[in-house]
Structure 1
């Protein structure tokens, strides 16, 4: 019995092939032959007719060419004597306001006809469901009655069409009758199998194919109303008939037949919206079956049939030849929008990809996950290899490629069956074989990249070559990155084995980089070289320790700079910037300063911080030829930020754990974030609007983190004011103590920002300078108090010596500012120095004088007077030297 049903199924598939390929070919050939004969007859008639004016076209010459002749994928030929308006075929848009208005007008005028068609279709459905006269008929009689009713309706519609046509007085009537007959026939065949079990699956499929063939043939002669009614009715029939079936999977292929029927009809008539309706009805019906529990295996089989139908049938070609623009080419190079067949095919590819992802999210069977991956792989390979003559579909393969990456990521994030089985193998016994899931996925990624690379070699023109090269260089490495981050294969199959996987793919990229040639050979070589460097770096992530990994990243940046200089490949600069960003991430966040201060040894600290400083310094020198480029600017800013982080780590280690937890530790931690903020602000000079926005956002975030840390330092760990019961003590020797670690690095970073960030607004740079001065002054004041009070600065009162020390410090600072003003010829610094002198005078007369008496008072004011006189003389000389006649 099984063998007979298989034979019937093969016969059904053969009938499908005959209907979808043979019949359209015969009809189109016949139509073209008729058109050719008509043109010959018109030419003979024109030769024997009297001469007419040039602008007069004989009526016969306009009407003799039937509409069925085709000259392009979606273009009707113009009547003889009519000049074409454009050399490009018109685009077919389905969801247009004018078409919707036309449908609404037809429904307003023919609503009774539409209701009649629905009623007739429901009559056939209810016949097979309920029978006649309250179920007195046997199941066999009900099915036969439904089939006879369908045949009678089709015959009636055909008789009316042959006598009166499908337009004019009988407009729509033949279509309605025949459409209702088609729906009834579909319902009868389904009932014979699903409700009553009168036939097997093979016979049922053959019957459905036969009804579909009748619908195709009728659709070529009727208007679109028949086809639309037949499609909607056929799609709704399984759900209207109801009942239970032991072969529910058959309906998936039934819906695939519906899709083929609609597409085959529209391949001849070019209504466009019929194709959309056919695919929508079939996809919706199959999805409802899947949601109803009809099984995922054949659901994937439905999509495996629906996608080729959507690609091949509308164009009527066994090999895709979709002309026009592709979506990605439209985005990159401009031009017209993709044609209707392209949009139709891309939509089905996208829906099939989403269906594969959905199956993996809802199943606990590893086999179904692998079948979903297989569906995406088959679509990718078919679209890469089969669309070489279809420029409109040249980027369609990117959809299943992206879907495969998403599927692999979601399998890990949702703890799917394949991922769970792979992770469980980490506890396997030594003699058990190694799990192959990661290896199979990596092999699939490599094959996908190989397919894209092969397509790149035959692309020819510049834009496709670059796009295919990017696809080849991204697909495999992206899959490897997803596996490393979410699947953690190194912990299951071993770090060394996993690193070998990555290095093998990197070797493939290197091979392609060395064989780049033709159009944009240098750019293609840079793309594959960048992919190889990323994979090698990923292998280093797997194998090396934290310190060695950071050093390896710096080596990667230096190697990228050297390759750029040697082969003039500026596109690698983006890869170098990415490497610098990852180095910054490792030094700031993971493993961050906490690891460097509390866990790592001195060798690892020097390796992780000093090594990148040296290597990036060499890379900065290597890229001297690109002094104004973004990459060199990024490396230069990284040198400053890494140096600040390194100094912060060294100071925290010197202070020890108690100091790291107090005001010094918070200050040094703030230095890390401030340095990162300054680096992002420094990188604002080059780059486009998008990169500037990203860097500005990073600068705001890191600056906000630094501000929070500094506020906490001021409130919680202030040496002058105890926080609740906690008293902050100064640690270390005088001058080189925790106060210096807490405040001087912060002042230094802020001063560097005011000095180096010349492209920022002047007001912001002035704010950095004021903040740096404030922190330096705060440190100086606290250090003076530490000299007189010891480790505890929160003790009450101020001694005379401490008070006089503040005065001397103010005078010394003012002198220093005056000297700096002379060296830099800065009027602003000179005025700041004189403001310091005024502040010193105010302090002496308002504060110091009240605590002085006797010879101490005399000596103090004598010293102040001499100091002020000397400062006034120095200020006058400086003002005269700078050409300022008003030495205020």
Structure 2
């Protein structure tokens, strides 16, 4: 009988509270009717009317009304807990002309609270509530230590003390301080007393069960739960702080009860009821903090339960119920998730959207669902049900994010969670761990459930597509920003999920499951683009439609990889992009040409992955007419046709990109055919020879000239800067490869058996002439530094050809440095270099080219240094004398040449000057 006493007292308290609430509501309605009648009477009489409002503490106060007021001026002021309240009409004793400005100033800015008020009205209340609680604790402690009362009496008195505090708090709220809530919402005396009473009840019930074992676990659980829900109900009258206490009590109750047969179903049903009750109370009062705490605590309970619980069904259902509560009760009915509806797509608008709505509620819900869902995946690789639960939770969270006006954080975190789940469940992290650390998980266990994992994630991808298209269909006009976010999710996430499952569980030769899924996905996204176009989505939803287009192409590209292989995939990928580009004849969607760019980028990736396109063993050894010709040539030709097709396209960037890709693919096609032919039909990673590299250099120099010509015909930054980049690449190849790594003087490579037509001709003279021709062609088309670099490269290669040819004349077919130098060979270098200097001087004089004369001077100075430093030390006898004599004659001849030129210029300058007229002086 003693055990039922607190329960009976709580029931009586609820009945009394219900009756008092009805009486208060009736009185408020009657007071409102009386106030409305008084307002009307005051307005019709044309004189200020005074309304006396009784106050238990201050007596009465007069409220003056203006002459022409048809209704009172009432300002809405939000409480701290989010519930709106009406401020009292201001009392004014001035004339009617001055009433409105005064009232406006009083409503717009409340007077600052003094330090005395802060101490007396707020801190005193909190300190008093704490003192009451501590007083009850100390009283119980004293009674225990003194042995004055037995445990049963002490617990009864504690329960009665708690109920008395709750009753006194409600009495003070209704009678003593009816208007104090407007001023001290966060320090209400009734709320503090009620909270102290609730703490006393919690302590008494827990002591009766946990310390003295007067009541069993079932009754203790029911009493604690009823107390918690009772406090949550009282919070509707006393504010959000008391609601937090009730929520804390309800969430802590399961920890306070120990039982030998715990039930996970009972636990999460109770927690779900507590969370739903909190959401209902929060919706009625507009609270945001308490429901956020409730969602966080439920998520924490789920994580704790997942540590050693075998049954995850109640956990998953409880989390799904929390999502439903968020959608249907609070804050799902709010409409402020889309504050920037209709705003153009920008990073600033996206940032505002991320911070819009009830941010705490959105983030706590998302994390409270996402973290337990990810933990469920780590339930053992052979258990299928946790993966189903994970997919259900992620899909429910995504549905919550797409519902009504949409919420950013549930949408974003659900998408991230789906991707993380696929990465974790398919073993991608395990593969990375094995690759980096050398050890990892059991791959047999990871891949043992490939079929179910694959179908679950493909189904989850389909759910995201359906949610995205439904949200876009409803909101693309009203909220293009959020619809664009969902378009990005529909374009990226399903393709990523399908790609991950294909990589780990697919059949690389021909996978019909992934192939058909990808074809269906691409068709659905493409149909959605056409539907949106016909619904007039452009131009407001242009970015979103482009994203859906890219997603459809990505899905079709995945289908190609799943159903084809090798060179067929490469060619079909280029054809797929070209088909999108040709659709610009019927639809002017801005994303169509860029898909061709993406397709060609995919072709380049496949070339980098396997340059043979068919595998080294399957590659034909026939020069030119082999698999490389269509594999490289068809994408290059399609790129060229695409650039031509877009010659009148309004945007220049995509046209420039296609022009650059066409040039690059054409160069790659020629270069790969040359390498294949020069290596006996074998493509491997071996270092190219000087002859092969010379052809590459000639190709790059030729590409630079072609791009320069195209720039003259059709000016384009791609052609302009591309030609200069190609020239720069060729110059770097000359310095690093021709003169360095591949130089036969260092490598010992054979130069060939023929005297003039040999490797030196291909490796040095021809590229040098190509540089000279390119410099001559670019002299009036490009900047002077670039032209000078080209000319210097040609001169250096010509000088190297002469020098190495002299060495080959003396050393034979092989000219490595370790064979040393003969004296006649050393003398021959001086003769050859002086001949080059004289020849350049003659050409410079003939064509009046100052650059050639400067090059001549450099070579002659180099010869002088060589004669004085090397020939003097190494030559002997007549060769040393001939070296100096020849140098002397040449230098004197050059001096006479320059004197003749200078004297001729001085004479011509004098003849050109007009004669001075006589001055008569």
Q: TM-score scaled to structure 2, two decimals? A: 0.67
- Aligned pair partner of 1:489 in 502, 506, 514: 506
Alignment of 1:401-420 (within 5 A): 401-412=415-426, 413-414=428-429
Describe the superposition over 1:397-442 as per-residue Cα deviations: whole angstroms up to 9, x where unpaired. Answer: 344233212321232224599996673367xxxxxxxx24323322
Among candidates 525, 548, 573, match of residue 553 of structure 1: 573
Question: Do residues 535 (structure 1) and 555 (structure 2) align?
Answer: yes
Please state how far the C-alpha of 1:797 moved relative to its aligned partner. Answer: 1.5
Using the TM superposition, give the Cα deviation of residue 836 of structure 1 relative to its aligned residue in structure 2, in angstroms. Answer: 1.8
User: Match for residue 3 of structure 1?
Assistant: none
Q: Given that residues 155 and 208 in structure 2 are in contact (C-alpha distance below 8 angstroms), is that contact kept between their aligned partners in structure 1?
A: yes
1:664 aligns with 2:689: yes
1:577 to 597, 607, 615: 597
Distance 1:260 1:75, change over 3 A: same
Q: Which residue of 1 aligns with 2:40?
A: 44
The equivalent position to 2:860 in structure 1, one of 835, 841, 845, is 841
Larger Rg, first or second structure (1 or 2): 2
1:834-855: CA deviation from partner (whole Å, max 9, x where unpaired)? 2222234335555579678799
Distance change (3 Å), C-alpha of 1:605 and 1:871? farther
Give the aligned partner of residue 64 of structure 2: 58
* Alpha-carbon distance in 2 for matches of 1:764, 1:179: 83
Q: CA deviation at 1:502?
A: 1.4
Q: Residue in 2 aligned with 1:5?
A: none
Tell me, yes or no, if structure 1 residue 354 matches structure 2 residue 379: no
In 1, the alpha carbon distance for the partners of 2:739 and 2:580 equals 43
SS at match of 2:358: helix
Distance in 1 separating the partners of 2:166 and 2:284: 21
Q: 2:821 is matched with which residue?
A: 797
Counterpart of 2:665? 642
Conserved in 1, the CA contact under 8 Å of 2:282 and 2:330?
Answer: yes
What does residue range 605-616 of structure 1 map to in structure 2 within 5 Å?
605-616=628-639
Matching of residues 141-152 of structure 1 within 5 Å: 150-152=162-164
Question: For the Cα contact (< 8 Å) 1:227–1:274, is it kept in 2?
Answer: yes
Residues 533, 59 of structure 1: CA spacing in aligned structure 2 closer, same or farther, 3 A cutoff? Answer: same
Residues 125, 188 of structure 1: 8 Å contact kept = no
Take 2:801 and 2:854, find their aligned partners in 1: how far apart are those partners? Answer: 20
* 1:631 equivalent in structure 2: 654
Of 161, 164, 167 in structure 1, the residue corresponding to residue 176 of structure 2 is: 164
Name the CA shift for 1:400/1:848 in 2 (closer, same or farther; >3 Å): same
Q: Indicate yes or no: 2:411 matched with 1:397.
A: yes
Q: Deviations over 1:788-819 (max 9, x none)?
A: 53234322116255665555566777888999
Residues 250 and 710 (structure 1), Cα distance of their counterparts in 2 relative to 1, 3 Å cut: farther
How big is the shift at 1:615? 1.8
C-alpha distance in 2 between matches for 1:409 and 1:219: 45
Quote how far apart the aligned CAs of 1:374 are: 0.8
Supply the distance in 1 between the matched residues of 2:276 and 2:799 (Cα, whole angstroms).
82
Alpha-carbon shift at residue 377 of structure 1 (Å)? 0.8
1:729-768 to 2 correspondence within 5 Å?
737=759, 740=762
Q: CA–CA distance in 2 between the matches of 1:869 and 1:544?
A: 74
Cα deviation for residue 229 of structure 1 reads: 3.3
CA contact (8 A) 1:357 1:372 kept: yes
CA–CA distance in 2 between the matches of 1:85 and 1:742? 94
Is it true that 1:473 corresponds to 2:461 in the alignment? no
CA drift of 1:219 comes to 0.9
Deviation at 1:180, TM superposition (A): 3.7
**What's 2:460 paired with?**
444
Query: Map of 1:183-198 to 2, 5 A cutoff?
Result: 183=199, 185=201
SS at match of 1:515: helix
Q: Deviations over 1:594-642 (max 9, x none)?
A: 9988874352322332222222112121121238622222222223333
Separation in 1, partners of 2:679, 2:155: 93
- Distance in 1 (CA, whole Å) between partners of 2:259 and 2:141 is 13
- 1:714–1:833 CA distance, 2 compared to 1 (3 A): closer
Name the CA shift for 1:404/1:815 in 2 (closer, same or farther; >3 Å): farther
Inter-CA distance 750–68: structure 2 relative to 1 (3 Å threshold): farther
The CA distance in 1 between the partners of 2:787 and 2:220, in whole Å, is: 81
Q: Would the aligned equivalents of 1:754 and 1:768 in 2 still touch at CA under 8 Å? A: no
Within a 5 Å distance, the mapping from 1:598-609 to structure 2 comes to 600-601=619-620, 603-609=626-632
User: Matches of 2:639 and 2:133 in 1, distance apart?
Assistant: 76
The residue number in structure 2 matching 1:93 is: none
How far apart, in 1, do the equivalents of 2:761 and 2:122 lie?
86
Deviation at 1:224, TM superposition (A): 3.9
Q: 2: distance between equivalents of 1:597 and 1:873?
A: 66
**Does 1:520 pair with 2:520?**
no
Q: Give yes or no for the alignment of 1:423 onto 2:447.
A: yes
Matches within 5 A, 1:121-270: 150-165=162-177, 167=180, 172-183=188-199, 185=201, 210-239=226-255, 246-248=262-264, 250-270=266-286
Structure 1 residues 472 and 816: CA distance shift in structure 2, 3 A: farther
- Mapped partners of 1:131, 1:251: distance in 2: 37
Q: 2:389 aligns with which of 371, 387, 408?
A: 371
Task: Determine which of 610, 614, 633 is the counterpart of 1:591.
Answer: 610
Cα pair 2:221 2:254 within 8 Å, conserved: no
2:323 paired with 1:307: yes
2:574 pairs with 1:568? no
* Deviations, residues 94-114 of structure 1 (Å, cap 9, x unaligned): xxxx9xxx9999885555335
C-alpha separation in 2, matches of 1:594 and 1:856: 61
Distance in 2 between residues matched to 1:125 and 1:735, nearest whole Å: 113
Task: Tell me if structure 2 keeps the 8 A contact 1:817–1:832.
Answer: yes
Structure-2 separation of matches of 1:278 and 1:440: 31
Separation in 2, partners of 1:84, 1:854: 114
Change (3 A) 1:784 1:584: farther
Shift of 1:509: 2.4
2:821 counterpart SS class:
coil
* Structure 2: distance between partners of 1:120 and 1:288: 35
Q: Which moved further from structure 2: 867-876 or 191-200?
A: 867-876
In the alignment, the residues of structure 2 paired with residue 749 and residue 209 of structure 1 have an alpha-carbon distance, to the nearest angstrom, of: 90
Q: Distance in 1 between matches of 2:569 and 2:103?
A: 64
- Give the direction of change, closer, same or farther, for the CA distance of 1:381–1:236 in structure 2 (3 Å limit): closer
**Counterpart of 1:839 in 2: which secondary structure?**
helix
Does structure 1 conserve the Cα–Cα contact (< 8 Å) formed by 2:807 and 2:815? no
Tell me the residue number matched to 2:56: none
Distance 1:596 1:441, change over 3 A: closer
What TM-score comes out, normalization by structure 1 length? 0.69
Could you tell me which runs of 5 or more consecutive residues in structure 1 were left unpaired when the two chains were aligned: 1-14, 91-97, 427-434, 683-691
Alignment counterpart, residue 510 of structure 1, candidates 526, 538, 545: 526
